[in-house]
Amino acid sequence: MNAEVVADSVNEAGDRLTTMVVTLPRSALAELNTHRVFSRNSASSRAVPVKRMIEYVQRSPYVPRAFSVNKPGMNAHEFIEPGSPQWADVLEWWMESVETAVRQARAGLELGVHKQEVNRILEPYLMHTVVVSSTEWDNFFDQRLATDEAGAPLAYLPIFDAAAAMRDALAGSTPRSVAEGDWHTPFIAKDERDVLEPDQVRAVAAARSARVSYFTPTGDRVVGAGPSLEADLRLCERLLDPGQGSAPHLSPFEHVATPATPGSGNFTGWRQWRADVEASRSSREP
């Protein structure tokens, strides 16, 4: 479980916009996605070959740090943890399920089933990487970090742990002051900001935010920068014009934003570059 702030900005009105890279169990992704104040781009099971996914699951499967004890209702109050009498048996059960999923994934591959279906079988045993940007965090933390009277998490344990990592990352980061007309640009180093043209900075930031969709958990690619600035600029162009009749992929453009009142999309005090891109495209349509 990990969260790392990659861009942190505050405008003159005090509205803070933060982008972070979050790694959490794939099983907790739905719990994150229910919060509409977040702009997100996410690693894609459809983009990673099955063989690579199998290699990763075999080498580093996700194993819960604790298993919930069964009881009526949706909230667990007790957990089977390392050192518990049942831990060895429960861990063996979990690892057997990992082996079963791997066998079934191989069988699907041999049958010619596409990776977008086969990889779903492996998802419960995968960690997942997400780029998240938001100006609003309090409700998420209040909901996902709530505990009962005994201090047990009320949320699903993996999203509780992810939220705790995100809270700590946010608390440990100092935002950069961004004046009107300047931009919040994730994954851009200071020296790049100094030498690139403003439109190039925005394009590279959007492309690097999108690159998480192609991230392979084996480490073949990394979140953020591509092999060159030219590759990032080309990726931005492909997002705007994928070709083959596909619609543009505009969600990565939400992570790039400039101070504005009242804001746009799901941001307060910031206008997403996506709004400008959509307005420009609409003005060109007949």
Question: Domain limits of the chain?
Answer: 176-284
Pairing of strands 176-177, 2-10: parallel
Which one, of 241, 205, 223, 225, lies nearest residue 4 by Cα? Answer: 223
As a whole number of angstroms, the longest Cα–Cα distance in the chain is 70
Burial of 237 (0-12, 13-18, 19+ CB in 10 A): exposed
| Contact call for residues 7 and 186 (beta carbons, < 8 A) | yes
The distance of Cα 50 from the centroid of its chain, to the nearest Å, equals 21
DSSP string, 73-106: SS----EE-TTSTTHHHHHHHHHHHHHHHHHHHH
**CB atoms near residue 3 (< 10 Å):** 21
Which one, of 42, 5, 33, 31, lies nearest residue 266 by Cα? Answer: 33
Residue 45 amino acid letter: S
Which of left, alpha, beta for 154 (phi over 0: left; psi -120 to 50: alpha)?
alpha
**CB atoms near residue 198 (< 10 Å):** 12
pLDDT of residue 222: 52
- 């009107």: which residue's tokens? 180
Question: 176: part of which helix (H) or strand (E)?
Answer: strand 176-177
pLDDT of residue 91: 98
pLDDT of residue 221: 46
**CB atoms near residue 280 (< 10 Å):** 10
pLDDT in tens, the chain (286 residues): 899 999 999 999 999 999 999 999 999 999 999 999 999 999 888 878 899 899 999 999 999 999 999 988 777 788 999 999 999 999 999 999 999 999 999 999 999 999 999 999 999 999 999 999 999 999 999 999 999 888 889 999 999 999 999 999 999 999 999 999 999 999 999 889 889 999 999 999 999 999 887 654 444 445 556 678 898 999 999 999 988 778 899 999 999 999 999 889 999 999 999 999 999 877 665 4
Q: Token digits for 166?
A: 């995100």
- 């979990």: which residue's tokens? 94
pLDDT of residue 150: 86
Which one, of 272, 276, 269, 267, lies nearest residue 38 by Cα? Answer: 267
